[in-house]
Every structure is written in C-alpha cells, then in structure tokens.
Structure 1
Amino acid sequence: MEEVFSEEVFFADRARSILDTRNNVGYVRLLDHNGVLEKSFGFQDDKGFEKLTLKGPEGKTVLLGLRSSVGKSFHLDALLWSLIFASLMAVVFTSLIRFISDRAFRFMGEFSEAVGSVASGDYSVRLDGRSSLIAGAGVQWLCREFNEMVSSLEGGSADRDDTEDLEDADFDRSDELPTDFRPKIVLREEQSSDVSAFEAPQDSFDEGLVEIVHVEEEDAEPEQEAPSAVTEVADSKGKKVDISILVVKIADFETLIEDVSPSSVNSLTADYRKTVSTTVGSFGGTVEAILRDEVVAFFTSPDPGPVAKLNCVCCAVEMMQLFAGVVDGQKISTRSDIKLKMGISSADLPVSDESDVFALAKPFVDEAKALCDGARAWSVFVTTGFREGASDYLEVRREKVDGNLCYAVTGVEEEALQRAGR
C-alpha cells in the first residue's frame, strides 16, 4: 500500500481509485512533515473509522480511515445465510424422514397386501383411511378410491355369475369387457378354455364372456339376430366374388400424436402403414385406401367357401401379434406404443371386368369402418354375416355398435391359419 502512494504527483488519482474500489476505506489523507493536513479525500469525520498510518511520498504521512464495522457485517451476513440454508435443509430432510418412516412403510405394506388380495379374487378387502397409520387427506382419498374400485369389481363379478347362463342375442355386455383385449389362436386338440398361444393377459380376460360358435350342428336352433346393417347387393351381370373388407385404425391416434414430435409421428405412421400393407399382402389381400391412420384392405376369392374370410381374419390376428409384440405365444418388447382396432365386413358382389369394385363395395366398407370406430383397443369386430360364413373357425363374443349386433373375435382356430397358408 505504501508503494501506491510513493509518488505525490499521482496521490489524488490513486486516492480516488482506492475509495471507488474498496468499500472498507472511508477516507485518504496526506500529512506533511509537521502533521499538517495537505490533502483529504472521502469522509471528513473520523467517527467509526480506524486509522491506518502509512509512509507517504518524500517522507510525508498517509492516513487511511478503515471502517471497523465492515468485517463484522460481512461475517454476520455469512452466518445469517448459513443459518437460513441449514434451516431449509433441515425442513427437507425432516419431511423425507417423516415420509419414509416406519409407519409409512407399514401402510404401504398393508396397501400392497390389499391389492394382492383383490388380484387373487378376494373382493371383501377394505381400507380404513381414518384409522390409517398415516394421517392426511391424501391417504383418506386413496383408501376411499380403492374401496370404491373393489366394490365395483365385486358387483361386476356378482353380475357375471348371475347372468352366466343367459343366451339373449341382444344382451349387451360391453360394460364388463376388458379394455385391453387381444384375440387368441386356439389349437384344434386343445379345449377352448386352455391357455393358448395368443391371448389377453390373465387379469384382463374372462372366459365366461367367450361364446364358441358352431352353427354346423343340425339340432341347434338358429339364433335370432338383428339383420346386418347393410344388405347384400342383388345379383346382376358379372361373376359373384366373395369380398371381405378389413379396416384397421390406431386406437388412440389423437393422443399418440400429441405426445410425440411431428417427425416422430411421420416415422411412426410410415412404419405402421408399411407393416400393415406388408401383412395384408402376405395374406393375399390388397390395400385399397390409406388415410392418416386408417387402412382399408380387400380380400377376394372367386371360389366358394370361406377362403377370403379366413385370409382376412388371420391377417387381422397376425397384425395384432406384430404390434402387440407376441411371438410364439411369448410377450416381447414392442417397437412402438401403437394399439390397433379393426372392423371386418363381407359381401358377395357381381364383379365384371369393367366394374369399380371399391364403388360397389362402398356400403360394406362403411359398415366395416363403423365397426372399427366402435371397437376398443386390441379388438376385432365383425358383422353377423362375416361371423356366419366363418363360424367353424372363430370364437366370438356378442357386442353392440350403435345399437346393432356384431361380434368381437376372441379366438381363431389353428386350422384357419393353415387354410390361409400360414
């Protein structure tokens, strides 16, 4: 510091610089050999300052006035901030410790046991939030919602037991159906209730809702069904061709595109369309129209028999397997979050060389689209006419779409895949 004031000619500039840059210096003064003040910068009052004496230029004396409270204030501020930070950390750790306390772990154990009991079929389990180990509105809400869920499951189970033997064709059980249902492949040598190569998860499948259709039995009375929403086209010039129409859509397309970027949507839909088109072609079908997530495919056969229908329904099951990630009955990681839903209709159309097949089949295409729109994720809905033509190879369940009777495919016989060349 003494070197700073070694030259008197620069004393004023250096004094002002020190006052501007050092907040603990209140004044700078220059005294001659006799102690008489020559120059002074900063505060004139000495109160609250500690004097620091330095050797100045040409044997003169430099006085610096240092604030005695600056150092104390600095240490006090640091201590205050340390206390505030420590208090915040204490609150955080106290909250965490309280949350993961023994009482919390015991409550989570009780909740886990209750969920396990419900999963095993015991619907008598209830949780009491008011006497819970952990008090709080959140815990009471959780217990109340759990109890309501179990009550609804218990009521649904009782309703299924009471109506197990009902055979009313117009009976609508759509409210009891699982939301994530996939059709299965049924081996000929197995019973229909056995676990097959391709079926819904055990917790979402109710075999009591499956209807195995065998209309070939002579003594069985024909079921009274509502007529198909679209009647067959009358015979006219041209050869009759059996056409099955398959409409495929992504079940939650609007939600899906909101959760991913535009580039990912384009990649996802391109992969989806390519997979659907390839699968349709491998079963002898042709893709007639593609619109966003909707794909319309035709399966035709000039020969009598359910060839076109079997190719169509087997193609639908194959696509379900591809997008659900099921290979040889084993669930693997799927390549996307796409969930499919499908609608199928059929018709015998008089087709000539000059005919516009798509125009002739438009009423049946609209019918398949309506079924597809009304279907749930991982489900294949078919018309009554389609079900009658392929009933020997299908397991179905009654459904209703817009008040019209239709069927959801729950199983496909292995022989159908063999006849489809798979």
Structure 2
Amino acid sequence: MSTATPTSTGAVGAAGRAVRRHRGALLVVLLVVVTALALALLRPRTDEAALAPGSADPAGGRALARVLDAQGVTVTEARTFADASRALGPGTTVLVTDPDLLSAQRLRVLAGSGADLVLLRPSAETLEAVTGDVTPTGGASTAVRDPGCADPDAVAAGPARAGGLTYAASGGATACYGGSYVRAPLAAGTLTVVGQPTLMTNRWVAQDGDAALALRTLGAHPDLVWYLPDPVDTDSPQQPLTALLPPWTWPAVGVTGLAALLVLLWRGRRLGRLVDEPLPVVVRAAETVEGHGRLYASARASDRAARALREATSRRLRAWTGLDARADVRDVADQVAWTTGRPAPAVRELLAGQDPRDDPALVRLAVDLEALERDVARQVRSTSPRKAVQP
C-alpha cells in the first residue's frame, strides 16, 4: 500500500521536471567539477618556497638538489633549527637560505659544529656572530664575471653569475666574483658567503659556470643539510601579540570606538514609519513622452533619441522572438531576419547602425523601426495564432 501523499508526489514530479529541463547545465557543472578534481589530484605536489630543494618554480632549487642527489650527496631538508642541528657535524655542509632569521646564538652553534657553513645574502649582524673576516660593502649589478681569485672551486667553475650583495675579505678570507662569493676559515670548517643566490635557482643554475660553482660549494661532503629557517621557529621567549603593538594603539582604538558610537547615535535615530505622500499632479504618460521628445529636439540630440528608439524596439523584439532579455542586438537582428525574411545586414543596420545626423533621418528611422515591429508581430501571430503577443 502506497503512503505517498499527493503533495509529495507533486513535489517529486516537479523536481524531476526541473532536473530534466536543466540537465544540460547540470552536466556542464558536473564536468567542470570532475575536471577540477582531476587536475588537483594529478597536479605534482612541489614546494613553492624560494630556494626550496623540492620547488620546481624558477626561484626554487629542485634542479640543483636533483643533481646533488645523483652525484651521491644526501640532501636533507630542514625547516626548524632542531632538525638542522640533528644532522650537524664534520663531513657535512649546511646551506642556510635566510640566515638573518637566526639568532646570534644559533649562528654560533652552526659555525662551531665542524660543518662547512654556506650563508646566502647574510647581513652585517649575521656575519658578526660567525666571523670577523667578512664584512658587507654594499651591492653590485648582476652580471657574469670571472672569479678574479685563487679559490680552487671558483677557478674550476669559471665565469658565473655574480652581483647582488658584495663583501670584503680580510684575514684568511678570499673574495671572488667581485666580492659576491667569499670563502673564510672557521674553527672547524669553512664559511662560504654567497651574495647572489640566484645562481643556485632552477632558472639560472644551468647558465655559464653557475652549476659548477653551486655543485662545488654544496657537494664537497656526502651530506648536505638544506636549511630553510622559519620565522616562527625562534629561540626568543614567547611574547603575546599585544606586546608588538605600539603604545598609542589602545588610545586610538578607544577614540575610534567613541567616534563610531557617536555616529550611530547621530545617524541611527528613528523619525517614525514611512508614509505615502500623494503627488500634487498626475502626469499622463503621453505628455511625458512628448516632453522627452521636445527636450531631445531642443538639444539637437538626435543620436540619443535614436538610441532610445532602438533600445525600445530591441526590447520588444526580444520578447516577441523569445530571446533572453540580455541577448545581444546582433542575435536579435539575426532572429528577426530569420522570422521576417529580411536581409540580416539590413536589420542589423536598422537596430545598431549609425546615428541619424538630423531630424528627418530620425523620423525615417522611427518609421522603419515601427514597420519592422509590425512585420515581426504579424509573423509571430501567424505562426502562433493562439498565443497573444505581448509587446
């Protein structure tokens, strides 16, 4: 025994008819969703951080990391100081992509671990915590330069991409490539300062001697720690976010809140309910149309009058031909031409042609538009005799 009520049956039937009526749109939406899911699932997941060993972006370091791995160098990516510290020791190279994010204490730990330390674009404060033999001197334009030094790795690499930040070497340090590549001894290892890190990126590593210089710098030992410092990973005591606000923040918030309250009290008052106000006179529609026409005539605005006539005709033609209210005027012209048998170019010229230059041309346009509407209405009535035409 069926328990379905007439109301539920009607609702199910209406839903089924709605689905059948819009099945094309539903299929398109379903296809878009399936395509988006497929692209999201098939898209290779790579790191997008700059100089990350897993990033395939032009600014990433995936190409260099792949070559180092192929040459037997174990590349370990570290995002925290704890992860980087576990891999420190002699026979290890540590690349720090953003050393200015590290405290002086952490920099001294890296420098005293016995590993070869590579710093990219370090500042003067960062270098002071590691060595006194390398100091920043400013910057230089990016260009391919010769080594200009006796460092064996730089000499073997030959001309390479240089520039960016430059440094001066003193004591036992050696400056190459105009100061953008400096080698300095540490207590138990070496320090390499690179002022132009782009030579290690996917975009430039294959140019000139960039690859040779990068591979010799990072591949001297069988283990490489690729350290990308995180600004959140800090050894300073945790402070609330409110401690970072300037002292004038809370007074400013109080003044702003008081001003907002005054504005609400001023503009939010109620004047009572809305009431209807009768107009002093009633203007007939014909008089309004005639007044607009006289204004257009006095201003010699035949172009605006023509646009008004064409827009009104196009609106009525859309309704008669069953087109959408937002259909383009060219589509309206093509449909009207098909309905009436008129040439399509002539209909398009009538609905969206040049504006009339004078009043006689405007009158002719109005007459032609009226004749076009009569033709369309006649054809629509002849093909659908039982359907009333709504202009």
TM-score w.r.t. length of structure 2: 0.18
Larger strand percent:
1
Larger Rg: 1
Larger helix percent:
2
